[in-house]
A and B are shown apart, each in its own frame.
Chain A
Amino acid sequence: MTANHLDASQFTANQHFTADIVIIGSGAGGGIAAEQLTNAGFNVLLLEEGAYYRSNDFVMEERWAYPNLYQEGAARKTQDKSIGILQGRTVGGSTTVNWTTSIRTPPSTLDYWHSEFGLNFTGENDLAPFFQHAEQRLSIQPWPVPPNANNAKLQQGCEALGWQYTVINRNVNGCANLGYCGMGCPINAKQSMLVSTIPTALSNGARLISRLSVRKLLWQDHQVTGLEAVPVDAHFQPRSDIKVTIAATHYIVAGGAIGSAALLLRSAVPNPSGRLGKHTYLHPTVISGALFADDINGHSGAPQSIYSDQFVWPRDNNVAGYKLEVPPIHPVLMATKLIGTGEAHAALMAQLNKLQVCIALQRDGFHPESQGGTVLLDAQQQPVLDYPITDYMWQGMRQALLSMAELQFAAGAKQVLPIHHDAKLYSSLPEAKAAIEQLPMVKLRQTVVSAHVMGGCNMSVNANNGVVKQNGRHHQLQNLSVFDGSILPTSLGANPQLTIFALIWRNCQLLIKELM
């Protein structure tokens, strides 16, 4: 047990704490905020509903990692069960389990925010210095090692077709190229919040309370006056026997998209724009498998080192854009996604090491027919995301399956398997194309997943059009900020962590000036 850390599941009686600033959630947003604010001398209390696991706990097994490090045991689904959602729930949040891809916010995304939400990130609001700060702080650099075969096939396919691709920047220091980022880095190479900003914040005097779920903010007359929280049990379910109350001068909500909106909904905070919990984005993702003659061993090596932006920004906005990447290939992740049952499924699993997998992440939130999902609360007051998929989005996904099949064959695949429950292994591009054109694009036939949850508490200049201001401060409650991925007004068209690091770094500097 580290000094300054309390495990709320050990509490035997009600507790009360006070601080200058309380931060709810210890992921990308909360982690950056904890370091910035303690550097500035504030007394910070950092709250996290997940546990404080460290590298020694990370045994590189999915059966341990998913229940212990992910929201809902990595089995989170949208309300109609049509989209599977991966999100971290542990100290360090999703940064503890993410795949280390670090990309600056695409300029076109910032332009869109300017035109739709009045958000100006140019001139004195430029994010560039904050990208630089974050890149330096977290050792974000182009990955110098050759890509593993899974990523190399993505690169080779792009080369063969003349498609754009980029070598990925990663937040790692001393990476041994193991490939287990998604189960927690066992050697502290990944510069997640767990090993970077949070240890600094703790040594600066911050206190961390883990296994504590914040249930409600109390507020009155434009001010948050306190918060109520409860310990979680061994399975991370909120308990009802002990209550923790906290009073602070300023409150920072950083529970991540879905989590932050849920907390604010439970607290029934003012919501005149009606946008709280709405416009939650996922980068809805479709998957294409391919069998190669040579070994791919997609479980080994940096999970993501190449991406392609060939299709992210189509000229015609009536076509949904998508980014091409690859996921790590581990048994549970694959077994649950590969289609079929019985011998057919077993036969695919037996070829796991020959399997190459591409993913296409759709850039949602930039079209009237792509307005994201809505966070609802269930009977236990826990969040559920209702995310309808429109025809416009389905067509984009079909297009993405076609692109991925084309790429995989161009890279030398023997057979391609779109992850759709009516698909099968196809042995040529014409065969795959003809089949994909006919696949029914409907929920629960077409597999859709997400590891990028964004929005739900969107920033906007105008209070009619968002939950927080450009600096992350709540439009109505004066001593409340939202500092995480939930403030993004659309998805990004790029992996979110670096955008969140930079935005929150900037917002912290603004907040420090205002509070000093």
Chain B
Amino acid sequence: MDRRQFIFRGLALGISASLGITGWQYYASESDSNRDWVLSALLPALLYGALPKDTTLAQHELARTQTAITDFMPYLPVSQQQELADLFALLANRISQLALSGHITALPQLSVNQRLALLASWRDSYLLVLQQAYHGLRELLYGAYYGQPEHWLPITYTAPKFC
């Protein structure tokens, strides 16, 4: 395992632990936990390369992004909120099934590339709902991450300031 892979694993374990997720003993029930669970699986991979190398800083950025996502969702039309809840349930379930069928190992052990491959498989799926999931989640997650001024250092973007 190279150093970056090692850091990523620490990060992924950290976010899973902070959400009380310890392994595959996961039962899709409540929509918030579905959401948090899917986000915790995908965010560190989607943002790989954007997150700071420092694990603590990265944890803060992930937490801030997750909060931004939850704050944003109520502005979506109720029908879209329902679609998203269904989607999170479906994805949580799908990830669990892949694990159960031995296609992938336990979440914390998944590498960045495995997670990104999972995302890519949704993008390329013949199921429209998975394609929509890929695009919908990308927009939601990247929008939430890059909306935060604290995350603008690597992209050297600043808004003008004046009184």
Residues of chain A having any CB pair with chain B under 8 Å:
60-63, 66-67, 72-73, 75, 80-81, 84, 178, 180, 235-237, 299-300, 330-332, 334-336, 341-347, 349-350, 352-353, 378-380, 382, 384, 421, 444
Contact = CB atoms under 8 A, between A and B. Distances in A.
Contacts of B120: 341
A75 B116 contact: no
Contacts of B47: 342, 346
Given A73-B72, A235-B74, A63 B148 contact: yes
B132 A382 contact: no
Contacts of A352: 155-157
B159 A60 contact: yes
A75 B147 contact: no
A347 B154 CA distance: 10
A343 B132 contact: no
Contacts of A336: 138-139, 142-143
Contact of A353 (B46, B128, B142, B157): B157
B146 A343 contact: no
B135 interface: yes
A331 B139 contact: no
Contacts of B152: 331
A92 B3 CA distance: 53
Among A72, A75, A84, A237, the most chain B Cβ lie within 10 Å of the Cβ of A75
B146 to A, nearest CB: 4
Nearest to A378: B79
13 contacts: A61-B149, A75-B76, A81-B132, A299-B159, A332-B146, A335-B142, A336-B142, A341-B116, A342-B47, A342-B112, A346-B50, A349-B50, A353-B157
B66 to A, nearest CB: 14
Interface residues of B, number: 42
A421 to B, nearest CB: 7
Interface string B120-142: 10010000100110011011101
A341 B119 contact: yes
A16 B142 CA distance: 44
Given A60-B159, A72-B75, A352-B155, A331 B45 contact: no
Given A341-B119, A444-B131, A235 B75 contact: yes
Nearest to A237: B78
A73 B69 CA distance: 12
Given A75-B76, A346-B48, 12 more contacts: A61-B149, A61-B159, A73-B76, A300-B160, A332-B146, A336-B143, A342-B47, A343-B48, A345-B50, A345-B142, A380-B78, A444-B132
A331 B76 CA distance: 20
Contacts of A334: 146
Which of A75, A342, A344, A347 counts the most chain B CB atoms within 10 A?
A342
B49 interface: yes
B122 to A, nearest CB: 11
Contacts of A80: 128, 132
Contacts of B157: 299, 330-331, 352-353
B159 A81 contact: no
Nearest to A338: B142
B63 interface: no
A341 B45 contact: yes
A421 B119 CA distance: 13
B49 A61 contact: no
Contact of A342 (B49, B76, B143): B49
Contacts of B48: 342-343, 346
Contacts of A75: 75-76, 80, 139-140, 143
Interface in B73-123: 74-80, 112, 116, 119-120, 123
A178 B77 CA distance: 32
A60 B160 contact: yes
B49 A346 contact: yes
A334 B135 CA distance: 14
Nearest 7 A/B pairs, CB to CB: A346-B49, A343-B49, A63-B147, A73-B75, A335-B146, A346-B50, A331-B146
A342 B46 contact: yes
A378 B83 CA distance: 12
B68 interface: yes
B56 to A, nearest CB: 19
Given A335-B146, A336-B142, A67 B116 contact: no
Given A67-B72, A341-B45, A380 B128 contact: no
B135 A81 contact: yes
A422 B134 CA distance: 14
B37 interface: no
Contacts of B156: 352-353
Contacts of A384: 79
A134 to B, nearest CB: 29
Contact of A72 (B80, B131, B135, B138): B80
A236 B75 contact: yes
Contacts of B146: 331-332, 334-335, 349
Contacts of B46: 341-342, 345
A235 to B, nearest CB: 4
A75 B116 CA distance: 23
Contacts of A378: 77, 79
A354 B152 CA distance: 15
Nearest to B113: A342
Nearest to B131: A444
A349 B156 CA distance: 10
B142 A62 contact: no
Contacts of A84: 139
A300 B79 CA distance: 36
A380 B79 contact: yes
